[in-house]
């Protein structure tokens, strides 16, 4: 149970994590999942040459001399709508009306937008010339047949789902969002909406951690809180192993006489959970292990400690379980507005508020940096990350800041 650094603790977690097994999902079910196969286009996109405008398909040479004063007048032999092949070929001296997305007829080599014409339906007067190729979208100019359009390891959002549909895929092989079961422990905890007796508080961590799991791209399942009864805690967690890809608990991991999570998993049968002290503030007491192969993160109970622990360890881990790089929250550089002190030897995460002037961020620590002070977390939008060797950091210093999800 020696002290270890944030980086060491995260590296141990990442080394032990399993990947979520891949499965095949329908496209809209796959949003937020990570592609587990490279997807290739079976055909080029567009699949055929087509019109970029509503107008007239022509042989460019027929309109080369057209002008306002001397328009080209051509017979219109029919209409070509998108999805309807209609006219399939055009001889010189003729034209066909064509709509955006409709296939170009053989023989035509340009499209004249309707705005350059009198919009005629039997014959049309064209008042401007166009070079060959004008307003034609060529087959394959978006994607070539056989091209990988979405690589393996891509998280699927709206744009990628569109790409997959556009190459004809209804289902894809993905690593789904991990299912994260969240459990708060503590006999003092009551459900929000119920009455408190002296010494009791409303459970906030399980709501926070479930939402944070969702923000990290996982599926969060909140459990009702459990008291400091080891049997009950063990049974509840074991019951969840079947449906969880990961378990996150809060509370019961420090030095108290009733630190139930620690008690349960320090027993002989469950030695795979390791409890450690990490050189960070807040978030010193941490636990991590595998229960029958399922990762469990036992986070400290102080709400801000639980939040910071989640963002620093659990968020990257959930990404890694889907095969994504284990990146932290998005970070930015900012100029500190106030003098601050930081404990030597610990990585320090302070709640702050970012502001932006003329391309530069500045960050102001918020009042109330105790690990029980949720109001300052709730009013913050950033975590200021102060390295282990920082002690007195004056206003004007450049600091690294993690942006909290909003
Ligand atoms: N003698 C020592 N005491 C403590 C140490 C230590 O090293 N030596 N470490 C302190 C630090 S740092 C932290 S962080 C906490 C971690 O404690 P636990 O993980 O055992 O958490 P609890 O004791 O269960 O709770 C701590 C605190 O947080 C409140 N809490 C817990 N769960 C919730 C919840 N779901 N919603 C809202 N608030 C919650 C709880 O009531 C306590 O006030 O230990 C220090 N002690
Ligand atoms: O580490 Mo505790 O997390 O400082 O409050």
**Per-residue model confidence as pLDDT tens digits over 23-35:** 999 999 999 999 9
Residue 392: DSSP 8-state: E
d(CA 14, CA 1): 19
Instruction: CATH number for 331-403: choose from 3.30.420.10, 2.40.340.10, 2.60.200.20, 3.60.15.10.
Output: 2.40.340.10
**Residue 93's pLDDT band (cuts 50, 70, 90):** very high
Ligand 2 in reach of 305 Cβ (< 6 A): yes
- Residue 213 has φ and ψ, to the nearest 5°, of -65, -40
Ligand 1 in reach of 305 Cβ (< 6 A): yes
Ligand 2 in reach of 250 Cβ (< 6 A): no
Residue 101: Cβ within 10 Å count: 15
> Which ligand 1 atom lies nearest to the CA of residue 283?
14
Q: Which of the listed residues 186, 253, 373 should we mutate to test ligand 1's pocket, taking the one with most ligand atoms within 8 A of CB? A: 186
- Domain(s) labelled CATH 2.40.340.10 in the chain stretch across 331-403
Give the pLDDT score at 236: 95
* Segment 39-64 mean pLDDT: 98
pTM: 0.93
Ligand 1 in reach of 122 Cβ (< 6 A): no
**Per-residue model confidence as pLDDT tens digits over 206-239:** 999 999 999 999 999 999 999 989 999 999 999 9
Q: Identify the residue whose tokens are 């507005």.
A: 337
* Segment 87-92 mean pLDDT: 91
Give the pLDDT score at 278: 98
Q: Are 85 and 27 in contact (CB under 8 A)?
A: no
Residue 314: DSSP 8-state: I
- Domain(s) labelled CATH 2.170.190.11 in the chain stretch across 50-137
CATH superfamily of 50-137: Molybdopterin biosynthesis moea protein, domain 3. (2.170.190.11)
pLDDT value at 1 more than 50: no
For 78-121, give the DSSP string.
EEE-TT-----B--TT-EEEE-TTPBPPBT--EEEEGGGB---S
- Domain(s) labelled CATH 3.90.105.10 in the chain stretch across 23-43+150-174
Give the pLDDT score at 254: 85
Ligand 1 in reach of 302 Cβ (< 6 A): yes
Ligand 2 in reach of 282 Cβ (< 6 A): yes
Ligand 2 in reach of 251 Cβ (< 6 A): no
CATH code at 3-20+176-321: 3.40.980.10
Give the pLDDT score at 85: 67
Q: Which of the listed residues 9, 302, 312, 383 should we mutate to test ligand 2's pocket, taking the one with most ligand atoms within 8 A of CB? A: 302
**Per-residue model confidence as pLDDT tens digits over 263-280:** 888 765 555 899 999 999
Ligand 2 in reach of 281 Cβ (< 6 A): yes
Give the pLDDT score at 178: 98
Ligand 1 in reach of 184 Cβ (< 6 A): yes
**Residue 259's pLDDT band (cuts 50, 70, 90):** confident
Tell me the ligand closest to 188's alpha carbon.
1
- Domain(s) labelled CATH 3.40.980.10 in the chain stretch across 3-20+176-321
Give the pLDDT score at 269: 59
**Per-residue model confidence as pLDDT tens digits over 149-207:** 999 999 999 999 999 999 999 999 999 999 999 999 999 999 999 999 999 999 999 99
CA of 381 to the centre of ligand 2 (A): 20
Q: Which of the listed residues 3, 6, 281 should we mutate to test ligand 2's pocket, taking the one with most ligand atoms within 8 A of CB? A: 281
**Per-residue model confidence as pLDDT tens digits over 118-151:** 999 999 999 999 999 999 999 999 999 999 999 9
ipTM of the complex: 0.98
Q: Identify the residue whose tokens are 């909003």.
A: 406
Ligand 2 in reach of 347 Cβ (< 6 A): no
Query: Half-sphere exposure of residue 283, counting CA atoms within 13 Å on the CB side?
Result: 28
Average pLDDT, the chain: 96
Ligand 2 in reach of 284 Cβ (< 6 A): yes
Instruction: Determine the topology of domain 23-43+150-174 in CATH.
Output: Molybdopterin biosynthesis moea protein, domain 2 (3.90.105)
Cβ neighbours of residue 195 closer than 8 Å, sequence gap 6 or more: none
CA of 348 to the centre of ligand 2 (A): 10
pLDDT value at 5 more than 60: yes
């Amino acid at each position: 149970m020696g002290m270890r650094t944030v980086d060491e603790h995260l590296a141990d977690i990442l080394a032990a994590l399993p990947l979520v097994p891949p499965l095949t999902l329908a496209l809209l079910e796959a949003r937020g999942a990570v592609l587990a196969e490279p997807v290739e286009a079976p055909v080029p996109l567009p699949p055929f040459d087509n019109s970029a405008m509503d107008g007239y398909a022509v042989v460019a040479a027929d309109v080369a001399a057209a002008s306002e004063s001397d328009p080209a007048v051509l017979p219109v032999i029919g209409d070509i709508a998108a999805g309807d092949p209609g006219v399939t070929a055009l001889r010189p001296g003729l034209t066909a009306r064509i709509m955006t997305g409709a296939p170009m007829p053989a023989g035509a080599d340009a499209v004249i937008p309707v705005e350059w014409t009198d919009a005629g339906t039997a014959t049309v007067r064209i008042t401007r010339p166009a070079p060959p190729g004008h307003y034609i979208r060529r087959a394959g100019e978006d994607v070539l047949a056989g091209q990988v359009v979405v690589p393996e390891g891509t998280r699927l959002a709206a744009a990628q789902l569109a790409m997959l549909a556009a190459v004809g895929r209804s289902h894809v092989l993905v690593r789904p969002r991990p299912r994260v079961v969240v459990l708060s422990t503590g006999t003092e905890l009551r459900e929000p909406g119920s009455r408190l007796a002296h010494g009791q508080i409303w459970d906030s961590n399980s709501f926070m951690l479930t939402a944070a799991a969702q923000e990290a791209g996982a599926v969060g399942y909140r459990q009702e809180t459990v008291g400091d009864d080891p049997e009950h805690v063990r049974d509840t967690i074991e019951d969840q192993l079947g449906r969880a890809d990961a378990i996150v608990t809060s509370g019961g991991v420090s030095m108290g006489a009733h630190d139930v999570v620690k008690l349960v998993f320090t027993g002989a049968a469950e030695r795979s959970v390791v409890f450690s002290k990490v050189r960070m503030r807040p978030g010193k007491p941490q636990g991590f292990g595998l229960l029958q192969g399922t990762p469990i993160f036992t986070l400290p109970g102080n709400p801000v400690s639980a939040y910071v622990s989640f963002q620093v360890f659990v968020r990257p881990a959930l990404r890694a379980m889907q095969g994504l790089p284990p990146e932290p929250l998005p970070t930015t550089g900012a100029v500190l507005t106030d003098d601050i002190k930081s404990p030597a030897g610990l990585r320090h995460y302070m709640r702050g508020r970012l502001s932006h002037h003329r391309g530069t961020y500045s960050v102001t620590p918020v009042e109330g940096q105790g690990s029980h002070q949720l109001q300052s977390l709730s009013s913050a939008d950033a975590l200021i990350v102060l390295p282990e060797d920082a002690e007195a950091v004056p206003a004007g210093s450049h600091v690294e800041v993690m942006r909290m999800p909003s």
